[in-house]
Structure 1
Amino acid sequence: MKKQLSKIIKLILLTCLIFTSMITQPATADIASGAKIFEIHCAGCHENGGNIVRRGKTLKKKALKKYGMDSLEAISAIVTNGKNNMSAYKDRLTTEQIQDVSAYVLEQAEKDWR
Protein backbone atom coordinates (compact mmCIF):
# COMPACT_ATOMS: atom_id res chain seq x y z
CA MET A 1 0.00 0.00 0.00
CA LYS A 2 2.83 2.43 0.88
CA LYS A 3 4.56 1.74 -2.46
CA GLN A 4 1.36 2.42 -4.39
CA LEU A 5 0.75 5.63 -2.48
CA SER A 6 4.34 6.72 -3.10
CA LYS A 7 3.95 6.03 -6.83
CA ILE A 8 0.68 7.98 -6.95
CA ILE A 9 2.24 10.96 -5.16
CA LYS A 10 5.22 10.92 -7.54
CA LEU A 11 2.88 10.76 -10.52
CA ILE A 12 0.83 13.69 -9.19
CA LEU A 13 3.97 15.77 -8.56
CA LEU A 14 5.32 14.98 -12.02
CA THR A 15 1.99 15.93 -13.59
CA CYS A 16 1.95 19.22 -11.65
CA LEU A 17 5.52 19.97 -12.72
CA ILE A 18 4.75 19.33 -16.38
CA PHE A 19 1.52 21.36 -16.23
CA THR A 20 3.22 24.28 -14.49
CA SER A 21 6.01 24.23 -17.05
CA MET A 22 3.48 24.39 -19.88
CA ILE A 23 1.73 27.41 -18.33
CA THR A 24 4.82 29.44 -17.48
CA GLN A 25 6.82 28.62 -20.59
CA PRO A 26 6.19 31.39 -23.12
CA ALA A 27 5.66 30.45 -26.71
CA THR A 28 8.69 30.94 -28.88
CA ALA A 29 8.65 34.47 -30.19
CA ASP A 30 9.31 35.31 -33.81
CA ILE A 31 11.98 38.02 -33.62
CA ALA A 32 11.81 38.76 -37.35
CA SER A 33 8.08 39.35 -37.06
CA GLY A 34 8.71 41.49 -33.98
CA ALA A 35 11.17 43.62 -35.94
CA LYS A 36 8.58 44.26 -38.65
CA ILE A 37 5.89 45.10 -36.11
CA PHE A 38 8.29 47.44 -34.31
CA GLU A 39 9.12 49.22 -37.57
CA ILE A 40 5.43 49.74 -38.38
CA HIS A 41 4.00 50.57 -34.95
CA CYS A 42 6.85 51.66 -32.66
CA ALA A 43 9.79 53.15 -34.55
CA GLY A 44 8.00 56.47 -35.03
CA CYS A 45 8.53 57.23 -31.34
CA HIS A 46 11.25 54.70 -30.48
CA GLU A 47 13.71 54.82 -33.37
CA ASN A 48 16.88 52.91 -32.43
CA GLY A 49 15.46 52.34 -28.95
CA GLY A 50 15.12 56.03 -28.18
CA ASN A 51 12.03 57.98 -27.23
CA ILE A 52 11.06 61.21 -28.97
CA VAL A 53 8.23 61.91 -26.51
CA ARG A 54 9.98 61.35 -23.13
CA ARG A 55 13.74 61.46 -23.46
CA GLY A 56 14.63 59.34 -20.40
CA LYS A 57 12.04 56.62 -21.04
CA THR A 58 13.97 54.85 -23.77
CA LEU A 59 14.06 51.19 -24.69
CA LYS A 60 17.75 50.97 -23.80
CA LYS A 61 18.72 48.26 -21.31
CA LYS A 62 19.61 50.72 -18.52
CA ALA A 63 16.27 52.56 -18.79
CA LEU A 64 14.24 49.35 -19.04
CA LYS A 65 15.91 48.09 -15.87
CA LYS A 66 15.49 51.43 -14.06
CA TYR A 67 11.74 51.48 -14.71
CA GLY A 68 11.15 47.75 -14.09
CA MET A 69 10.46 47.09 -17.76
CA ASP A 70 13.31 44.64 -18.35
CA SER A 71 11.22 41.49 -18.74
CA LEU A 72 9.07 40.04 -21.47
CA GLU A 73 6.05 40.23 -19.17
CA ALA A 74 6.54 43.91 -18.32
CA ILE A 75 7.10 44.97 -21.92
CA SER A 76 4.14 42.90 -23.11
CA ALA A 77 1.93 44.50 -20.47
CA ILE A 78 2.81 48.05 -21.49
CA VAL A 79 2.45 47.24 -25.20
CA THR A 80 -0.92 45.66 -24.47
CA ASN A 81 -2.37 48.25 -22.10
CA GLY A 82 -0.28 51.37 -22.70
CA LYS A 83 0.77 53.81 -20.00
CA ASN A 84 0.85 57.61 -19.87
CA ASN A 85 1.88 58.74 -23.39
CA MET A 86 2.34 55.14 -24.58
CA SER A 87 -0.69 53.95 -26.54
CA ALA A 88 -2.31 50.56 -25.90
CA TYR A 89 -2.03 48.07 -28.75
CA LYS A 90 -4.40 45.35 -27.51
CA ASP A 91 -6.96 46.35 -30.14
CA ARG A 92 -4.40 46.62 -32.97
CA LEU A 93 -2.08 43.66 -32.39
CA THR A 94 -2.70 40.02 -31.57
CA THR A 95 -1.28 38.48 -28.41
CA GLU A 96 1.29 36.69 -30.56
CA GLN A 97 2.34 39.94 -32.25
CA ILE A 98 2.69 41.63 -28.86
CA GLN A 99 4.90 38.76 -27.68
CA ASP A 100 7.00 39.00 -30.86
CA VAL A 101 7.56 42.75 -30.60
CA SER A 102 8.27 42.50 -26.87
CA ALA A 103 10.88 39.80 -27.47
CA TYR A 104 12.40 41.96 -30.21
CA VAL A 105 12.66 44.95 -27.86
CA LEU A 106 14.37 42.83 -25.19
CA GLU A 107 16.79 41.37 -27.72
CA GLN A 108 17.65 44.78 -29.12
CA ALA A 109 18.14 46.21 -25.62
CA GLU A 110 20.62 43.42 -24.92
CA LYS A 111 22.48 44.38 -28.13
CA ASP A 112 22.29 48.09 -27.20
CA TRP A 113 20.15 48.64 -30.32
CA ARG A 114 23.05 48.00 -32.72
Structure 2
Amino acid sequence: MQKLLILVLTMFLLLTSIFTPSASAADTTNGAQIFSIHCAGCHINGGNIIRRGKTLKAKALKKNGMDSIEAIASIVTNGKNNMSAYKDRLTAQEIQDVSAYVLEQAQKGWQ
Protein backbone atom coordinates (compact mmCIF):
# COMPACT_ATOMS: atom_id res chain seq x y z
CA MET A 1 0.00 0.00 0.00
CA GLN A 2 2.80 2.41 0.88
CA LYS A 3 4.55 1.71 -2.44
CA LEU A 4 1.32 2.48 -4.29
CA LEU A 5 0.93 5.76 -2.41
CA ILE A 6 4.52 6.75 -3.22
CA LEU A 7 3.96 5.86 -6.87
CA VAL A 8 0.73 7.90 -7.05
CA LEU A 9 2.37 10.91 -5.39
CA THR A 10 5.40 10.68 -7.69
CA MET A 11 3.17 10.53 -10.78
CA PHE A 12 1.12 13.46 -9.48
CA LEU A 13 4.22 15.60 -8.95
CA LEU A 14 5.62 14.63 -12.32
CA LEU A 15 2.41 15.42 -14.18
CA THR A 16 1.84 18.73 -12.41
CA SER A 17 5.37 19.86 -13.19
CA ILE A 18 4.94 18.95 -16.86
CA PHE A 19 1.52 20.51 -17.37
CA THR A 20 1.83 23.58 -15.14
CA PRO A 21 3.29 26.59 -16.94
CA SER A 22 6.46 27.87 -15.37
CA ALA A 23 6.25 31.26 -13.67
CA SER A 24 9.40 32.22 -15.54
CA ALA A 25 8.20 31.00 -18.94
CA ALA A 26 8.48 33.71 -21.54
CA ASP A 27 5.28 35.40 -22.69
CA THR A 28 5.85 36.47 -26.30
CA THR A 29 2.53 38.34 -26.41
CA ASN A 30 3.78 40.52 -23.57
CA GLY A 31 7.16 40.63 -25.32
CA ALA A 32 5.50 42.03 -28.44
CA GLN A 33 3.92 44.83 -26.42
CA ILE A 34 7.22 45.64 -24.72
CA PHE A 35 9.01 45.61 -28.06
CA SER A 36 6.43 47.97 -29.52
CA ILE A 37 6.88 50.44 -26.66
CA HIS A 38 10.63 50.27 -26.02
CA CYS A 39 12.34 48.81 -29.09
CA ALA A 40 10.44 49.43 -32.30
CA GLY A 41 11.66 53.04 -32.52
CA CYS A 42 15.12 51.76 -33.49
CA HIS A 43 14.32 48.17 -34.49
CA ILE A 44 11.16 48.44 -36.59
CA ASN A 45 10.48 45.06 -38.26
CA GLY A 46 13.77 43.74 -36.86
CA GLY A 47 15.89 46.39 -38.55
CA ASN A 48 18.22 48.90 -36.95
CA ILE A 49 18.04 52.60 -37.82
CA ILE A 50 21.27 53.37 -35.92
CA ARG A 51 23.62 50.60 -37.11
CA ARG A 52 22.54 48.72 -40.23
CA GLY A 53 24.64 45.62 -39.52
CA LYS A 54 23.23 45.16 -36.02
CA THR A 55 19.70 44.14 -36.99
CA LEU A 56 17.49 41.65 -35.23
CA LYS A 57 17.29 39.41 -38.31
CA ALA A 58 18.29 35.76 -37.79
CA LYS A 59 21.44 36.00 -39.92
CA ALA A 60 22.72 39.10 -38.07
CA LEU A 61 21.85 37.66 -34.66
CA LYS A 62 23.80 34.49 -35.46
CA LYS A 63 26.75 36.45 -36.90
CA ASN A 64 26.94 38.62 -33.77
CA GLY A 65 26.49 35.73 -31.30
CA MET A 66 23.06 36.97 -30.26
CA ASP A 67 20.99 33.98 -31.41
CA SER A 68 19.76 32.82 -28.01
CA ILE A 69 17.32 34.19 -25.46
CA GLU A 70 20.16 34.44 -22.94
CA ALA A 71 22.36 36.51 -25.25
CA ILE A 72 19.51 38.81 -26.26
CA ALA A 73 18.44 39.20 -22.62
CA SER A 74 22.00 40.13 -21.66
CA ILE A 75 22.21 42.94 -24.19
CA VAL A 76 18.69 44.16 -23.32
CA THR A 77 19.67 44.16 -19.65
CA ASN A 78 23.11 45.72 -19.88
CA GLY A 79 23.14 47.48 -23.25
CA LYS A 80 26.17 47.76 -25.50
CA ASN A 81 27.56 50.60 -27.58
CA ASN A 82 24.53 52.53 -28.90
CA MET A 83 22.07 50.05 -27.35
CA SER A 84 20.71 51.36 -24.07
CA ALA A 85 20.49 49.17 -20.96
CA TYR A 86 16.96 48.38 -19.81
CA LYS A 87 17.70 46.78 -16.43
CA ASP A 88 16.33 49.87 -14.65
CA ARG A 89 13.24 50.16 -16.86
CA LEU A 90 12.10 46.56 -17.31
CA THR A 91 11.68 43.68 -14.89
CA ALA A 92 13.66 40.47 -15.37
CA GLN A 93 10.47 38.78 -16.62
CA GLU A 94 9.79 41.58 -19.12
CA ILE A 95 13.35 41.24 -20.42
CA GLN A 96 12.83 37.50 -20.85
CA ASP A 97 9.52 38.13 -22.62
CA VAL A 98 10.92 40.65 -25.08
CA SER A 99 14.01 38.51 -25.68
CA ALA A 100 11.85 35.48 -26.50
CA TYR A 101 9.72 37.64 -28.79
CA VAL A 102 12.78 38.95 -30.66
CA LEU A 103 14.18 35.45 -31.17
CA GLU A 104 10.79 34.13 -32.26
CA GLN A 105 10.32 36.96 -34.75
CA ALA A 106 13.86 36.50 -36.11
CA GLN A 107 13.15 32.82 -36.69
CA LYS A 108 9.93 33.78 -38.52
CA GLY A 109 11.70 36.39 -40.65
CA TRP A 110 9.92 39.30 -38.91
CA GLN A 111 6.68 38.68 -40.79
TM over 0.5: yes
Greater than 4 Å deviation, 4+ residue runs: none
Q: Closer, same or farther in 2 for the Cα pair 1:84/1:37, shift >3 Å?
A: same
Q: Residue 40 of structure 2 is aligned with which of 38, 43, 51? A: 43
TM-score by length of 2: 0.79
1:109 corresponds in structure 2 to 106
Unaligned residue ranges in structure 2 (runs of 5+): 1-21
Pairing partner for 2:68 from 65, 71, 75? 71
Query: Relative to 1, partners in 2 of residues 1:26 and 1:68: Cα closer, same or farther, differing over 3 Å?
Result: farther
Q: Equivalent pairs: percent with the same residue? A: 76
Unaligned runs of 5+ in 1: 1-24
RMSD (Å), alpha carbons = 1.3
Distance 1:109 1:26 in 2: 24
- Aligned partner of 2:4 in structure 1 is none
Number of aligned pairs? 90
Q: 2:27 aligns with which of 23, 27, 30?
A: 30
Q: Give the TM-score normalised by the residue count of structure 1.
A: 0.77
